[in-house]
Amino acid sequence: MQIAIIAPSPVPFCIGGAENLWWGLLKSINQNTHHQAELIKLPSPERNFWELIDSYKSFSELDLTHFDLVISGKYPGWMVQHPNHICYMLHRLRGLYDTYHFTKYPEIYSSKNQDITALQKFIRSNQGNRNALKEFFERLERLRSNSNCPKDAFQFPGPLIREFVHFLDGIGLASNAINKYAAIAQNVVKRQNYFPLESSVEVIYPPSNIESFRRGNSDYLFTVGRLDSAKRISLLIQAMKYVKTNIQLKIAGTGPDADYLKQLAGEDERIVFLGFVNDQEITNIYADSLAVSYVPYDEDYGLVTIEAMMSGKPVLTTTDAGGPNEFVINSETGYSVPPEPQALAERIDYLCEHRDEAQQMGLTGRKLVAGINWENTVARLLGDKPTTYNSPSIKKRQKITVALTFPVFPPRGGGQSRVFHLYRQIASQFDVELVTFTNADQEAFQGEIAPNLYETRIPKSQQHQEQEWLIEKKVGVPITDVIMPQLYHLTPAYMAALKASVESSDFVVACHPYLLPAIQAVTNKAIWYEAQDVEVELKKGILPNNPIGHELLEITRKIEDECCRLSELIMVCSMDDAKTLHQIYGTDISKILEVPNGVDLETVNYVDIEKRYLNKQKLGLSGSFTAIFMGSWHSPNLEAVWHIFKMAQELPDVNFLVIGSVGLAFRDEPRPANVGFMGAVDEETKNTAFELADVALNPVTFGSGTNLKMLEYFASGIPVISTPTGARGLGIEDGKHCTVVQLENFPEAIANIKYEDLLAREMRVEAAKRLVQEKFDWQAIANNFIHDITCKCFNSKD
């Protein structure tokens, strides 16, 4: 075949990933196949509205019918009309698609200009109609010369150019215009509005044009890329401020942010800027690195990841990096962490301290990408028979579906935090999808919330929501979960999402028992039950002592009993809960695993007593004493706030600060002047409050399971006072880890901490920190769980 590879030539010209892909594709077709190819490029400036429109028009008029096949991959090249057209997509014009929301402009342009509104109406009635192009460009040309058009109509980026480009792309990429859709990464495929609905898109990973890679020493960290904001080199430089190891970070590349980045690096001699490096040099630099750090924001593909793994090096990236996360498997080929300097620094130090592990991850990565070469890429793109592909020696990942009555991300409350952090760690070995409910007035969501951890969030139907509200009004307390067995079927969209998820899953988890009937309605696969509490005991303290309360409590008892009976595996937060389930329902103890609550130590900022005092001194708060309480809108926490009101009246010289959604229940309640509410906050705000607190309180008097707040308090270095109920199930020793007293003794305990010896307070805080590190780190908990289920579930099938 005679093949035309059609592409835009950037103005001003520069060499980027697209150019390397075209050249590699051209060379491979001409040298390794019986086909002949030509690269055809048109100058395509896009510095303003009219340059972009003119570029689209030029490609739409290009006649390439003397070729047998056309391959395009980037706007506006795919406007070429050809009967045999393959789109191998890199990306659309992202500033008018997936990153347009950053502009804060509206999606639709509003104007009283009749010519503009007529053209908008014209394109809406001619979606996908190539015959409308001639009239569209003619009308647009008349607008160009119309001096009465509003000045903001032709801003770029802007809503009108967004409408026009979407219209043009809809024609160029219409299903009747393209014979085959392919993409360079799954990250490109999943972007909204990139491909026509119902179209089949094949992911074909392109290789590097560097022809040979080798493994050398492990001397430094390395990153390479254009020095601009999208590549986020600044994030790595900030991370180096927290890196304890004396290791160099070598940065290759040029770009507009070079001077700023050098200024940011300051006098840190470990950070070395290499400038431009050629292919031979970069091969050697890859070879002798310990690991490659690559942290762009939502990268389409990320060829750096492939080159690093070809060199046998682990890759350190971030959870929002996009394409790199299709290859970075935590603890297997590298690490993907939150896009925070401290999180990156912690993994850098870990890799430096565990060089054998780093080398093994590099080898695994090299096997993973071994089949990504031009021969296979071209064969798959053209539909020729590819050479034998050696699959990586990583076994197929199994999948877990988790059904929940509440949304998970971002985690704010204790239950959300447990689900997010536990399954985020489990996702290092399994693919995990959380299928969650949210209120009817919230948006649906489907996406990756951490590497290999996905959430599909479905709003309740209006009928479902209204029925729930009617019952809640009679009961007087929230009953979203308790009433779910009776109402779940009123949201068909949830059932469809759950069914779709479990069809590709190996295991199904009922997180709390209330969605057991929904799970049973869509699958007969084995069920695991995650019992975060003993629900019947918890609801006894929440539901009213009246007929409707008794009815709901009986519903809870029956569904919990059934879940315990039918589940192949039960996960409990403490063995006390296991014993309670056995006593109430006769549950078989042998199928119960303890999966305690934990803390993500990577994200918690520990502040010792001395630094805590200095923080307060800087803010002029050294004379104040602050007690904090954190909780979600949950009955044990609601009652705890009433107790805090009483404490505040007894201790007017102590400031009480309540964090979390529990405060929303007290918006209209009178409260003491020394009690403040922060509501639900993000992690940064919460950490700031924790850094200034003198004592943390947990005055809960009922509930089951264990309290996550206790572990967060401990991990943050705050002295803690708790009731025995609040300290249950954690192995806490009164006086060693915290102060455990009855509720009536809280004011006295607060006063004692306020005036106690600092050394004694420091020793108690350090002991609490060690307890969390040794027993309640989420990563360790997840690893233990994975080990246990491997022994309990998989071995039982042999």
**What is the DSSP track for 266-298?**
TT-TTEEEEE---HHHHHHHHHTEEEEE---SS
Query: Quick check: bond before 12 cis, omega within 30?
Result: yes
Residue type, 250: K
Backbone angles phi, psi at 226, to 5 degrees: -65, 135
Please enumerate in sequence order all residues whose Cβ is within 8 A of that of 675, keeping only pairs 6 or more positions apart, or say none: 644, 645, 648, 656, 657, 658
Q: Which residues pair with 91 in a beta bridge?
A: 74
Q: What does the alpha-carbon distance between residue 316 and residue 347 come to, in Å, rounded to a whole number?
A: 8
Q: What does the alpha-carbon distance between residue 138 and residue 99 come to, in Å, rounded to a whole number?
A: 30
371 vs 189, 365, 366, 393, 753, CA distance in Å?
Answer: 21, 12, 10, 12, 62
Give me the chain's average pLDDT, please: 91
**What's the pLDDT tens digit per position in 240-259?**
999 999 999 999 999 999 99
Sheet arrangement for strand 626-630: 675-679, 655-659, 626-630, 695-698, 720-722, 739-740
Residue matched to tokens 């008794």? 550
238 vs 256, 304, 445, 655, 699, CA distance in Å?
Answer: 18, 21, 32, 35, 39
Q: What does the alpha-carbon distance between residue 180 and residue 250 come to, in Å, rounded to a whole number?
A: 41
Alpha helix stretches (DSSP H) within 297-368: 303-310, 341-353, 355-368
Q: What does the alpha-carbon distance between residue 617 and residue 397 come to, in Å, rounded to a whole number?
A: 51
Angle between helices 575-585 and 547-566 (to 10 degrees): 100
pLDDT of residue 783: 85
pLDDT of residue 368: 92
58: pLDDT confidence band, cut at 50, 70 and 90? very high
CB 562 within 8 A of CB 554: no
CB 730 within 8 A of CB 676: no
Could you give the angle at the alpha carbon of 97 between the alpha carbons of 196 and 427, nearest 5°?
80
Backbone angles phi, psi at 781, to 5 degrees: -60, -45
280: pLDDT confidence band, cut at 50, 70 and 90? confident
CB 240 within 8 A of CB 271: yes
Q: What does the alpha-carbon distance between residue 531 and residue 513 come to, in Å, rounded to a whole number?
A: 7
pLDDT over 70 for what percent of the chain? Answer: 97
**What's the pLDDT tens digit per position in 688-713?**
889 889 999 999 998 766 777 898 89
Q: What does the alpha-carbon distance between residue 249 and residue 269 come to, in Å, rounded to a whole number?
A: 9
**What's the pLDDT tens digit per position in 643-685?**
999 999 999 999 999 998 898 889 889 999 999 999 888 777 8
Pick from 92-96, 722-726, 753-757: least confident: 753-757
What one-character DSSP code corresponds to residue 301? S
445 vs 220, 300, 409, 465, CA distance in Å?
Answer: 40, 21, 10, 18
Tokens, residue 334:
């590298």
Residue-level length of the chain = 798
Q: What does the alpha-carbon distance between residue 208 and residue 102 come to, in Å, rounded to a whole number?
A: 31
Q: Which residues pair with 571 in a beta bridge?
A: 530, 593
> Does an H or E element contain 677, and which?
strand 675-679
pLDDT of residue 367: 87
Kindly state the average pLDDT of the residues 340-351. 96
Which of these, 87, 81, 89, lies nearest to 179 by C-alpha position?
87
| pTM for the model | 0.53
CB 729 within 8 A of CB 576: yes
What is the bridge-based pairing of β-strands 453-459 and 445-450?
antiparallel
pLDDT of residue 568: 93
pLDDT of residue 792: 58
Long-range pairs, 390-397, Cβ under 8 A, ≥24: 392/364, 392/367, 392/368, 393/364, 393/367, 394/329, 394/332, 394/364, 394/367, 394/368, 397/429, 397/430, 397/431, 397/452
**What's the pLDDT tens digit per position in 385-404?**
654 434 334 445 789 999 99
Q: Which residues pair with 250 in a beta bridge?
A: 222, 272
CB 739 within 8 A of CB 720: yes
Tokens, residue 235:
């994030």
**Which phi-psi region, left, alpha or beta, contains residue 726 (left: φ > 0; alpha: ψ -120 to 50)?**
alpha
Tokens, residue 106:
């509206």
Which of these, 81, 4, 95, lies nearest to 52 by C-alpha position?
95
CB 313 within 8 A of CB 335: no
Which of these, 493, 535, 502, lies nearest to 520 by C-alpha position?
502
Q: Which residues pair with 11 in a beta bridge?
A: 45
**What's the pLDDT tens digit per position in 550-563?**
999 999 999 999 99
Please enumerate in sequence order all residues whose Cβ is within 8 A of that of 624, keeping only pairs 6 or more positions apart, or say none: 616, 655
**What's the pLDDT tens digit per position in 310-319?**
999 999 999 9
Residue type, 346: E
**What's the pLDDT tens digit per position in 475-486?**
988 899 999 999
Query: Euclidean distance between the first and final Cα of the chain, in Å?
Result: 53
Burial of 63 (0-12, 13-18, 19+ CB in 10 A): exposed
**What's the pLDDT tens digit per position in 291-307?**
999 999 999 999 999 99
Q: What does the alpha-carbon distance between residue 656 and residue 642 come to, in Å, rounded to a whole number?
A: 12
SS3 annotation, 369-437: CCCCCHHHHHHHHHCCCCCCCCCCCCCCCCEEEEEECCCCCCCCCHHHHHHHHHHHHHCCCCEEEEEEE
Q: What does the alpha-carbon distance between residue 712 and residue 690 come to, in Å, rounded to a whole number?
A: 9
Backbone angles phi, psi at 273, to 5 degrees: -95, 120
620: pLDDT confidence band, cut at 50, 70 and 90? confident
pLDDT of residue 387: 46
592: helix, coil or strand? Answer: strand
CB 628 within 8 A of CB 687: no
Kindly state the average pLDDT of the residues 596-619. 81
Q: Compute the half-sphere exposure of residue 63: CA atoms within 13 Å on the CB side of its CA.
A: 1
What one-character DSSP code corresponds to residue 599? B
Pick from 43-47, 408-412, 509-513: least confident: 408-412
Higher local confidence (pLDDT), 272 or 360: 272
Please enumerate in sequence order all residues whose Cβ is within 8 A of that of 617, keeping only pairs 6 or more positions apart, or say none: none
Tokens, residue 421:
């952090």
What one-character DSSP code corresponds to residue 443? P
CB 371 within 8 A of CB 390: yes
Q: What does the alpha-carbon distance between residue 293 and residue 339 come to, in Å, rounded to a whole number?
A: 12
Angle between helices 778-789 and 414-426 (to 10 degrees): 60
Q: Is the pLDDT of residue 208 over 90?
A: yes
**What's the pLDDT tens digit per position in 766-793?**
999 999 888 888 888 888 888 888 765 5
